[in-house]
Structure formats: C-alpha cells, structure tokens
Amino acid sequence: MTTYLLAGGGTAGHVNPLLAVADRIRSIEADATVLVLGTAEGLEARLVPARGYELIVVPRVPFPRRANRAALDFLPRFNAAVRRVATIIRSRKVDVVVGFGGYVSTPAYLAARRAGVPIVIHEANAKPGLANKLGARLTRHVGVAFAGTPIRHARFVGMPLRPEIEHLDRAASRPDAAAFFGLVPERPVLLVTGGSLGARKLNATLVAAARDLVAAGWQVLHITGSKAEVTDPQLPNYHLVAYCDRMDLALAAADFAVTRAGAATVSELCALGIPAVYVPYPVGNGEQRFNAAPVLAAGGGVLVDDKDFVPAFVQGELVTLLGDRARLAAMGIAAASVGVLDGTAQMVDLIHEAVTT
C-alpha cells in the first residue's frame, strides 16, 4: 500500500490539478492512502474535504518581498513548517511527496528531501513559480502543463484535468447544456468567463457590447464571477450568471470563448478544441501571456491586451471573427492540436516512476 502526500493549494490553479491526480490514484489503487497538505486560508480548505480527502493544515508562510518585521520572523516560521511536514512524513509513513506549487509546497519539498522520500512536481504555468523552481533542484521528476516551460528536468505531461472535463463528450452533452442554461439549441454560444471571482474588464466590456453580439446571431453565456459589479442587460439570448458549478456543461455548450489565460482555462479549452480570445490578467508576473503562447502559435486563439479589450474591439473585430464560421472551425482544430486530454494519467505515471526507481 502506497501513501501519497499531495501538497498545494491557495488557488484553483493549484487545487484542481491536485484533485484530478488524487481522484486518478484513488480510482486505480483501492488500497492507496492519499493525504493533502494545504493551508486553512486557501480553496483547498473547502474543496479537499468535500472531495473526501484528509486535509492536513500547515501555516501559510509566504516568502518576504522586502526587509521588514515579517522578514525577520520568516526563517523561524519557515523552519517550523518544514519540521511539521517532516513529522507528518514520518508518522504517516509517506512514500512520495507530490507538489503542485503554492506556499505549502516549498516546506514539503525540503521535508521530503530530509526524509529521503521521492519528490514529484507538477508545474501548471508556462512561467514557473518560485516554489517549484526550488523544488526542481531536488528531483528529476518534474511534469509541466506547457511544452517549453523553463524549469529543470521538465517533462511535458499536460494539465491534469477534472474527470468531468477529461471525459466530456461535447456533442452528446449539448442538449443537456442547453436545457441547463436555458439556451436555444440551434444558436451558437459565446462563453465568457473570468474565473470564479470574475474579471472586471471582461465583464464591463462584454455587457457594454451585448446588443452587438446578440444582433450578430450569437447567444452569450456570461459567467461574471461571484464579485461582479455589472448589471444584467436583460436581452434575449444574453444569459448572465454569477457562478457556475457545471463548467462541464458550459464548455459543452461553447462554440467560442472570451476568457483570461489561466493555465487551467487554456488547458481545458485546448483539450476540448474550443477557440478563444484570451485577455491575460495584467497584474502578476505575466504568466498568463506565456500560458496562451502555444495555442496562439498554433492559430487556435487570439490574444488581446487588457487595456485594448474595450467595447469597440468586441463590436468590430470580435463580431467580425464570430461571423467567419470557416475560420472558427479551423481555430477549433488548431486549439485541439495543442490540447492534452490524458494529462492526469501522464502525471500519475510520472509519480509511479518516482516511487519505483
């Protein structure tokens, strides 16, 4: 019996691939023990127990960005976190540590190294994070979601996808999707989403151009996010929803998407062959532009800077693109050409390789 310690959390970009791997292990190894290391503040605090896994909480210890009081406290707190994880590894007889990035991954990597336990890493972003870059110095088993990711020992495995996405039959699910969202089955669907919290610029721009999109013969499924600050335009064929817990059906309905370029979003759209306009999040280390680069190079997407994503772009360039059905079909094929549907299986194979070598 193998005991796996999966470390990661904070955002959906870390939690969802972690859960996809956990589900795959559980489905093929009935006697395996899967433990998850996370924080009390991240999404994992809700999602991991809800999925039936034991969550072991460690303190959130972010690396200091400047010299201040927090920086002085960092090293003792960080060392305490490493000792805590090392104790968990010993007491629970952990056979392998699998990290997905985020605050808890760094102490997990160092504790595993001290305990002589194999380390496996999955890097979801095309521009790797600090925790995984450090961890990649301690192992040769590093899976990446995007080819060409600049991290040591990278092996392209793709993104571990949620089972409901990995096994989605879009054509067969479209009638259910239309019924679920109240869509017209014969009318093409533009999916708009900025993530669970939404994206202010995407939301405002699309609502401002709502009439033009509907007049172009499309219907819009606009998932605003739970903290959106937009008003429903109250137009036929424009469906505004704050939150969607059936993204599989939303993706089954979609003929085209307008979205941010988070790693999971790009990976899911490409795996399913859905073309998109990507509007990278303008804050952070710029990883979203890198995430979109492979599908853009293949011709499966269009990139628009956040500052340029204005109603005039939607009313002109986007509406024109949506009217070119031949181009949209070619873009869907191009997106699928860089998509990976079996990323979960490839990542689990890499973990098993680490355990057995």
pLDDT tens digits, one per residue of 1-43: 999 999 998 777 788 999 999 999 999 999 999 999 998 888 8
> What is the pLDDT, as a whole number, of residue 67?
60
Place of tokens 């896994």: 53
pLDDT greater at residue 200 or residue 262: 262
> What is the pLDDT, as a whole number, of residue 166?
95
Between CA 222 and CA 85, with CA 48 as vertex, the angle to 5 degrees is 135
Q: In this model, does residue 87 exceed pLDDT 90? A: yes
Q: What distance lies between CA 315 and its chain's CA centroid?
A: 29
Residue partners of 156: CB distance under 8 A and separation at least 6: 143, 144, 146, 147, 149
**Phi and psi (nearest 5°) for 309?**
-85, 85
Q: In this model, does residue 213 exceed pLDDT 70? A: yes
> What is the pLDDT, as a whole number, of residue 13?
78
CA distance 276 to 259: 7
Structural domains of the chain sorted by starting position, each given as residue range(s) with its CATH number in brackets: 3-161+341-356 (3.40.50.2000), 164-337 (3.40.50.2000)
> What is the pLDDT, as a whole number, of residue 140?
97
Element (H, E) at 158: none
> What is the pLDDT, as a whole number, of residue 64?
62
162 labelled as ligand-binding? yes
> What is the pLDDT, as a whole number, of residue 320?
98
125 labelled as ligand-binding? yes
Mean pLDDT score of the chain, rounded to an integer?
92
Q: In this model, does residue 243 exceed pLDDT 90? A: no
CA distance 126 to 121: 14
Q: In this model, does residue 272 exceed pLDDT 70? A: yes
Query: DSSP alpha helices (H): ranges in the chain?
Result: 12-28, 44-50, 69-91, 105-115, 130-135, 163-166, 170-181, 200-208, 210-215, 247-253, 263-272, 287-298, 311-313, 319-322, 325-337, 343-356
Nearest residue to 158 (alpha-carbon basis) of 268, 260, 254, 247: 268
The helix, strand and coil proportions of the chain, stated in percent and rounded to the nearest 5, come to 45, 15, 40
12 labelled as ligand-binding? yes
Place of tokens 């995984």: 132
84 labelled as ligand-binding? no
Place of tokens 């859905």: 274
What is the percent of the chain with per-residue pLDDT over 90, rounded to a whole number? 79
11 labelled as ligand-binding? yes
45 labelled as ligand-binding? no
217 labelled as ligand-binding? no
> What is the pLDDT, as a whole number, of residue 66?
60
**Range with the poorest average pLDDT among 56-70, 102-116, 219-233:** 56-70
